[in-house]
A and B are shown apart, each in its own frame.
Chain A
Amino acid sequence: MKPAPFQYFAPVTVDDALALLAEHGYDAKLLAGGQSLVPTMNFRLSQPGVLVDLNKIADLAYIRADSDGTLRIGAMTRQSTVERDPLTARHAPLLAEAMPHIAHRQIRNRGTIGGSLAHADPAAELPAIMVTLNARFVIQGAGRRREVAARDFFQALFMTDLAPDEILTEIIIPPMPPGSGWAMDEIARRHGDYALVGAAALVTMPEGDLCADATLTFLSVGETPVVATLACAYLCGARIDDACIAEAARMAGQEDMDPPGDIHASVAYRRKLAQVLARRVLTRAFQRAKDGVV
């Protein structure tokens, strides 16, 4: 389990990194935290000819909040930094709640937020969280910069909107509207494992028990983060009580997804877990909205 040989570059600016990508094209792979990439290289399942290591680009590691509460996180910010920064808890409490579910501390100390998103593992927490939070990603190419919504970024299994000569540089998380509630939970066999199923909810209930908006997203039930569109539509405008949540959860598990079966969980079991998780996160999220935490 030793990686195949590769050429190594450690640029110190984004421009230098982009130049290297332009030069080496499809041979090149970006190395962020490496917590998913290096294991696959050790198994020789991945044998990139060129590794462009982003870890020396100091400009890509930051967490900042705009005056309107928009959170901006540099793609090379370590997951444990995101986890512990008070700005995360203040402006993106859903993200803060999700962070401890990501693997283990040793992994989060090295793993980066951008690396996880660009890797686009449908069993990972961060893609589903970003979709739920309606985040936008800043993508840089040679001489160009664009933004893409998280929902449009994840295209298929380990496939994103990133072109081979582009780098994900920043994650922009918009502020939550007043009356918002959130929750994230997942079911894993052991602490830190990839979840059998995970769910994240962000809801808005500005007054009383009338739901103004709801986003419910799942991980590990498809090739990308899966938004429970029918359930969300059902919740929007609905009066929220246990029966309403139960029906939304049922729709999510039974109608909104076409989950895979594998050695850890059958299709039916995944649907069941999704339904249970949906109920749990929606209940907590609406409770928080009602309590007026935000």
Chain B
Amino acid sequence: MSQRYTIRLTVNGEKIERDVEPRLLLSDFLRHELRLTGTHVGCEHGSCGACTILLDGQAVRSCIMFAVQADGHALTTIEGVAPDWTASSGPEAMHPVQIAFWEKHGLQCGYCTPGFIMTLIPFLEENPHPSDEEIIQAISGNICRCTGYQNIVAAVRRAAELMG
């Protein structure tokens, strides 16, 4: 019964080929097969946004896609947004969105944070000067239980400055 399916894809710039069971969720594939555990799982029904990644540059929810569906596509996870960052490189090597979250205290427990960042990178690339209303709408599909969002909105404004 356990059909396997070969997929070829690019993850954070690296070409990958794997055999997977068709039902394997993309979030589980990234976290447990590729060990990219920065993509977090909050609800597994597409409602909280914690598992957001980029599929060909567009934000999607990896918990409601199957890994087989990523075949032939290019994915970016939180581990891929600041390739130069290492534990010893200092925070300056992070992506501007990450730096802005740090500066504006846009995270507390940090569990939802990668999903926010992955939602915001394409948003800010498309909308370099967003209004507060646009920011709020852009993040309304991501749930944060710690911050009340106020500092996240401030972080997005700051990120727009840093990227602009």
Contact = CB atoms under 8 A, between A and B. Distances in A.
B141 A104 contact: yes
B68 interface: yes
B5 A109 contact: no
Contacts of A53: 68-69
B22 A8 contact: yes
B45 A39 contact: yes
A51 interface: yes
Most chain-B CB neighbours within 10 Å: which of A1, A51, A104, A191? A104
Contact of A43 (B45, B52, B69, B71): B45
A106 B19 CA distance: 27
Contact of B21 (A5, A10, A38, A55): A5
Given A1-B44, A8-B3, A34 B64 contact: yes
Interface in A1-45: 1-8, 10, 31, 34-35, 38-39, 41-43
Contact of B45 (A42, A109, A110): A42
A276 interface: no
Contact of B65 (A6, A7, A34): A34
Interface string B119-140: 1000100000000000011101
A190 B2 contact: no
Nearest to B52: A106
B63 interface: yes
Interface residues of A, number: 32
Given A3-B23, A6-B22, A43-B45, A105 B59 contact: yes
Judged by DSSP, the binding face of A is loop
Given A39-B64, A42-B64, A192-B140, A8 B5 contact: yes
Given A5-B2, A7-B3, A109-B60, A55 B69 contact: yes
Contact of B25 (A2, A8, A35, A190): A2
B45 A103 contact: no
A55 B55 CA distance: 13
Given A109-B59, A192-B141, A38 B65 contact: yes
A106 B5 contact: no
Given A35-B64, A80-B58, A109-B59, A7 B141 contact: no
B25 A106 contact: no
Interface in B4-60: 5, 21-23, 25, 28, 44-47, 49, 52, 55, 58-60
A109 B23 contact: no
A4 B119 contact: no
Contacts of A2: 23, 25, 28
A107 interface: yes
Contact of A42 (B44, B60, B68): B44
Of all A-B residue pairs in the complex, the 8 with the closest CB atoms, nearest first, are: A104-B141, A8-B22, A39-B45, A38-B64, A1-B44, A191-B140, A109-B58, A3-B23
13 contacts: A5-B2, A5-B23, A7-B22, A38-B46, A38-B66, A39-B46, A39-B64, A43-B45, A103-B141, A104-B140, A105-B119, A106-B141, A110-B61
Interface of B: 1-3, 5, 21-23, 25, 28, 44-47, 49, 52, 55, 58-61, 63-66, 68-69, 71, 119, 123, 136-138, 140-141
